[in-house]
Amino acid sequence: MSRPPRVNYDQIAHLYDSQPYRSRAVDREFLSFLRERGMDRPPTALDIACGTGNQLVANRAAAPGLIAFGVDRSLGMLRQAAAKTEEIGWLQADSAALPFAAGSFDFAGCQYAFHHFRDKAGMLREAYRVLRPGGRFVLRNLCPQHSEDWLYYRYFPEAFIVDLLDFWPPDAIAAIMEGAGFAAVEVKLEHLRFDVDFAEWLEIVRRRRDTCSQLQAISDEAYAAGIRRLEAEVAGATAPVARADHLCMATIRGDKPTGI
Is residue 174 within 8 Å of residue 187, measured between CB atoms?
yes
How many whole angstroms separate alpha carbon 9 and alpha carbon 85?
A: 20
- Of 31-39, 47-55, 224-232, 251-259, which part binds ligand SAM (CB under 6 A)? 47-55
CB of 6 to ligand SAM, least distance (A): 8
Beta bridge partners of residue 69, listed in sequence order: 46, 89
**Least distance from C-beta 151 to ligand SAM, angstroms?**
19
Distance of closest approach, residue 120 Cβ to ligand SAM, in angstroms:
9
Strand, coil or helix: 96: coil
Span interacting with ligand SAM, options 50-58, 98-106, 198-206, 248-256, rule CB under 6 A: 50-58
Beta strands 242-255 and 183-197, pairing class: antiparallel
* x-or-dash string of contact with ligand SAM, 7-46, rule CB under 6 A: --x------------x------------------------
Residue nearest ligand SAM by beta-carbon distance: 51
- How far does CA 120 lie from the centroid of its chain? 13
Burial 231-247, CB ≥16 within 10 A → b, else e: eebeeeeeeeeeeebeb
- Can you tell me the distance from the alpha carbon of 246 to that of 229, in angstroms, rounded to the nearest whole number? 20
Distance CA 260, CA 258 (A): 6
Residues 108-147 that bind ligand SAM (CB under 6 A): 111-113, 116-117
Q: Which of 94, 163, 210, 255 binds ligand SAM (CB under 6 A)?
A: 94
The binding track of 214-243 with respect to ligand SAM, each residue x by CB under 6 A or -, is: ------------------------------
What residues does 142 pair with on adjacent strands?
249
Binding site for ligand SAM (CB under 6 A): 9, 22, 49-51, 54-55, 72-74, 77, 94-95, 111-113, 116-117
